[in-house]
Structure 1
């Protein structure tokens, strides 16, 4: 068997991988532009747009007021006019202010115009808890998954942050790109060559035989930690990182659950009507019911108090408990 050729990589922080993808696409296509609060000379709230203002100037890297609804509306109009804007919404909680423009205009534009117009825009928003309280910590991915016309991605590694952003900026319709506060400072290897991560293709992060753990975003790191600890107990976990939430790669999940016979879904958002519920339902529609447990945030707002925040959000210990429960151990 021939060895696979080694791929040259560079080690980047998650936020740097986002920057690199955007910089490359802005260089290739003059229609790509960045909009949002503090995206200009400051470089973004998490410095994920560092250096772009200096390279491309204020015409293509535009600061907006603290007015998320207006900003998403402007981005949708700009996209309909032929540009490819990235609109940065610092906290996912405030994406709600732009739902009318995003859902009723951008996501439906191709349907309203019989395909004559599209809104090729990327709404980049940051989810998750990190000490910032009830209105800056929510994960509402499952709300967006129900909207026809929206594509939703949630990378967990720098390589996927790069590849998914590249793919998002080539899409012909609106994409919601969800990153997580705790991921920005995490490092990882990113190919030096241009690489795209296709939408609708999950990644098996760890092979296993006893139970399938399905998750996305920052929770992938938590689940991987749990899987490694469970291996010491003789429990073999297969870990699937969804990467894109719409479209879902149910084929990969269903194949895994068919082999392991059990499913645990993990998310930082609410499990009621959550991502895991949809994954499980679509999986069982394909292969029939299997033992399943779901884990999400407690049914409470996420506090800025570090003790209460930790009590609300899934951690490795709770993932391990759910895996044992589905195995009836």
Structure 2
């Protein structure tokens, strides 16, 4: 009997996986540049570019002022001119300042020029709550999913941080790559050999038969913890990591929901017009209506007060209770 040989793996932190992917792509392609606050000698706000400045120098890694609109605008122009800039936006909240260049120029450029020009740029931005208050804690990925021409990805593991970054830096259009503050120090196995993760392909993190739980980014860890909790009650969860938000892999989600008959969507952002709502609607267009519930942040700004922050953001016990309630319908 033949067995599929698993690739050799190396243990590394999430931030190290990002560094490795960017280093490899900058080595392969001299058109790849990095722009952003503290990306140079400091090595990035979360040390996700650590050591790259010593290798590639100031010609390819440029520290910028606290001017997100200008930085994204410069990157969009450089991309149209043939470069492949990677822009680092320290807090996702301030990505809003660069929406004009990102959405009205970069995402539309291929359409406006009948394919004559494109903007192969990556905007890497860090989402999520970790004690930094109302303007440094938001998850607004749902806003971006509806923009034609814009791809949106959100890795939850070091392996996907590596593989999705490499795919993003080779993409011929703008990509928003969303990481999370709480993920940078988390370890995980990453392939030793070069391995790209395709856009539009979800991953089943845990097999189950009673309910489908769908999430992305840091909330995947919460989803898996909740699945472990309800397993003690005999509830079996099929846990799906979207990885790619635009495009979505609805085939994988719909196939799971057909088996389990129930869907729970989990996100750290707001549920109104959220990622989960879009996933559910597209899924039910294929499967027909199924019991569904959605979990997200409470409808309030995320406080820097640790007690209020914890109350606002979904945790594993809250998700476990929602799973039990869904099965009780």
Report the TM-score, using the length of structure 2 for normalisation: 0.99
Aligned residue for 2:152, secondary structure, equals: strand
Aligned to 1:220: 220
TM superposition shift of 1:108: 0.2
Aligned residue for 1:252, secondary structure, equals: helix
Q: Distance in 2 between matches of 1:220 and 1:176?
A: 19
TM superposition shift of 1:169: 0.5
What's the C-alpha RMSD, in Å, of the aligned pairs? 0.6
Unaligned runs of 5+ in 2: none
Aligned to 1:268: 268
Aligned to 2:198: 198
Q: Distance in 1 between matches of 2:34 and 2:2?
A: 44
**Deviation digits for residues 138-176 of structure 1 (CA, Å, limit 9, x no counterpart):** 000000001000000000000000000000011000000
TM superposition shift of 1:8: 1.3
Q: Distance in 2 between matches of 1:183 and 1:6?
A: 25
TM superposition shift of 1:4: 2.1
**Deviation digits for residues 193-219 of structure 1 (CA, Å, limit 9, x no counterpart):** 000000000000000000000000000
Q: How is 1:155-194 mapped onto 2 (pairs within 5 angstroms)?
A: 155-194=155-194
Aligned to 2:49: 49
TM superposition shift of 1:228: 0.8
Q: Distance in 1 between matches of 2:321 and 2:188?
A: 29
Aligned residue for 1:303, secondary structure, equals: coil
Aligned to 2:110: 110
**Deviation digits for residues 67-118 of structure 1 (CA, Å, limit 9, x no counterpart):** 0000000000000000000000000000000000000000000011000000
TM superposition shift of 1:269: 0.1
Q: Distance in 1 between matches of 2:154 and 2:297?
A: 18
Aligned to 2:129: 129
Aligned residue for 1:169, secondary structure, equals: helix
Report the TM-score, using the length of structure 1 for normalisation: 0.99
Tell me, yes or no, if structure 1 residue 14 matches structure 2 residue 31: no
TM superposition shift of 1:7: 1.8
Q: Distance in 2 between matches of 1:287 and 1:241?
A: 19
Tell me, yes or no, if structure 1 residue 83 matches structure 2 residue 83: yes
Q: Distance in 2 between matches of 1:72 and 1:282?
A: 31
Q: Distance in 2 between matches of 1:271 and 1:249?
A: 19
Runs of at least 4 residues off by over 2 Å: none
Aligned to 1:286: 286
Unaligned runs of 5+ in 1: none
Aligned residue for 1:269, secondary structure, equals: coil
Q: How is 1:312-327 mapped onto 2 (pairs within 5 angstroms)?
A: 312-327=312-327
Aligned to 1:148: 148
Q: How is 1:232-311 mapped onto 2 (pairs within 5 angstroms)?
A: 232-311=232-311
TM superposition shift of 1:35: 0.5
Q: Distance in 1 between matches of 2:3 and 2:283?
A: 35
**Deviation digits for residues 264-323 of structure 1 (CA, Å, limit 9, x no counterpart):** 000000000000000000000111000000000000000000000000000001111111
TM superposition shift of 1:326: 1.1
TM superposition shift of 1:9: 1.4
Aligned residue for 1:75, secondary structure, equals: helix
